[in-house]
C-alpha cells in the first residue's frame, strides 16, 4: 500500500480507504464487517470513512466497537454530518455541528476524529455560522481537520474566503471512469488551495468490477440484488453502460490487470486524489482492491479506456 498527504494536513492516508456507506451496520452482517476491517489493516489501509447517517448511527457504532481494541494512532478516522438523524436533527447549524460531533464521538468510542466533513452544503444555514462551529470543534480537539462532500466551486471558494476560520483540507466527490464531473472545476480549485480529494464510488457502485453483464441477471448476493444497498445503481446499470464496461474489460486484460485494478488505478492517476474509498462486504474484495495501489497506467491504456467507454461517461 502506498500513502498520500491529505491536502495541507499532516495526515498520510492510504491510497485505498475503507468506506461504510450502505454496508456496515446495514447491508452487511457484523461478522463480515469485522472481517473486512481486520483485512483492511492487514493490507495497509489506514483510513476509514463513515458518517453519522449511515445506518442512522449503526455504522459508527459498529466501527467504534470493532476499532476499540486498536491503538488510536494506528488508523485515521473520518465521519460526516448534514443529513437528517431525526425529525429535528439535520443540517450544519452551530447547534447541530456541536451536537452531532459529540454523538459521533460517543458512538465511535474515541475522543476525536481525524477528519470531520460536511456531508453536503446547507443552504438553510449561513456559511459563516457553519465554519465558525467547525472551527470550535477543531480548536476543542474533537477533530483534527475538516472537509466537505459534494460542494460546488462557488461554495468552496466562499469558505476559503472567510477569515479567522479553520481551512478545509479534503473534498469527497463521486469520481470514477464513468463519472468525471469534478474534473472540470472542483479539482483545479482544490489543487490550488491545498485540498485533496477522497473520492467515493470509484467502482461505480460495483459496476466497474465487471460483475454485472449485459445479458445476465445480477449475481446473487450482489449490491444490485440488495434492497438495502441497491437503490443508487440505476444510472450505471443501463445496457449501454454495461456493454461499455465489457469493452473496458478487454482493455484491462491487455494491460495485465483486473477490471477493478484498472478502475482504481485510473482514479489514482489524478495527483489531487489522495484516496479512493471502497466498500466491501467480504475481506477478499478489500485485498483485491488494495492491490491497485501503486499501479501506473500507460498512455496507451488510458487512451484505450476512453475509447472503450465512449459517450457513456458523465462529464
* Residue positions annotated with a catalytic role: 54
- Tell me phi and psi for residue 43, to 5 degrees: -95, 5
Residue of 92, 145, 150, 143 whose CA lies nearest to 122: 92
CA-to-CA distance for 84 and 81, rounded, in angstroms?
9
Q: What's the distance, CA 211 to chain centroid?
A: 21
CA-to-CA distance for 38 and 55, rounded, in angstroms?
21
User: What DSSP element (H or E) covers 75?
Assistant: none
> What's the length of the chain?
315
CA-to-CA distance for 258 and 249, rounded, in angstroms?
8
Q: Which three cell numbers stand for residue 32?
A: 463480515
CA-to-CA distance for 59 and 129, rounded, in angstroms?
28
Residue of 208, 174, 185 whose CA lies nearest to 314: 174
Amino acid at each position: 500500500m502506498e500513502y498520500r498527504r491529505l491536502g495541507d494536513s499532516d495526515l498520510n492516508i492510504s491510497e485505498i480507504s475503507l468506506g461504510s456507506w450502505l454496508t456496515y451496520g446495514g447491508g452487511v452482517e457484523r461478522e463480515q464487517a469485522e472481517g473486512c476491517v481486520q483485512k483492511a489493516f492487514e493490507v495497509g489501509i489506514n483510513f476509514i470513512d463513515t458518517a453519522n447517517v449511515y445506518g442512522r448511527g449503526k455504522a459508527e457504532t459498529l466501527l467504534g466497537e470493532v476499532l476499540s481494541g486498536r491503538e488510536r494512532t494506528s488508523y485515521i478516522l473520518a465521519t460526516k454530518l448534514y443529513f437528517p438523524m431525526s425529525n429535528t436533527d439535520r443540517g450544519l447549524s452551530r447547534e447541530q455541528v456541536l451536537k452531532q460531533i459529540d454523538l459521533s464521538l460517543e458512538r465511535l468510542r474515541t475522543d476525536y476524529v481525524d477528519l470531520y466533513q460536511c456531508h453536503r452544503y446547507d443552504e438553510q444555514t449561513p456559511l459563516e455560522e457553519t465554519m465558525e462551529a467547525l472551527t470550535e470543534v477543531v480548536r476543542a480537539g474533537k477533530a483534527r481537520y475538516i472537509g466537505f462532500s459534494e460542494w460546488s466551486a462557488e461554495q468552496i471558494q466562499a469558505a476559503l474566503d472567510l477569515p479567522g476560520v479553520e481551512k478545509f483540507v479534503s473534498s469527497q466527490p463521486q469520481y470514477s471512469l464513468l463519472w468525471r464531473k469534478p474534473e472540470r472545476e472542483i479539482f483545479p480549485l482544490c489543487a490550488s488551495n491545498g485540498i485533496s480529494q477522497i473520492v467515493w464510488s470509484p467502482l461505480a457502485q460495483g459496476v466497474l468490477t465487471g460483475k454485472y453483464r449485459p445479458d445476465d441477471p445480477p449475481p446473487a448476493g450482489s449490491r444490485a440484488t440488495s434492497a438495502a444497498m441497491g437503490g443508487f445503481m440505476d444510472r450505471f446499470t443501463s445496457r449501454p453502460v454495461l456493454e461499455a464496461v465489457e469493452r473496458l474489460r478487454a482493455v484491462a486484460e491487455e494491460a495485465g490487470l483486473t477490471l477493478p485494478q484498472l478502475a482504481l488505478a485510473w482514479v489514482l492517476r489524478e495527483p489531487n486524489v489522495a484516496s479512493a474509498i471502497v466498500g466491501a462486504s467480504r475481506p477478499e474484495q478489500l485485498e483485491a482492491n488494495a492491490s491497485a495501489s501503486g499501479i501506473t497506467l500507460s498512455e496507451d491504456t488510458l487512451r484505450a479506456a476512453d475509447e472503450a467507454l465512449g459517450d457513456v461517461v458523465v462529464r
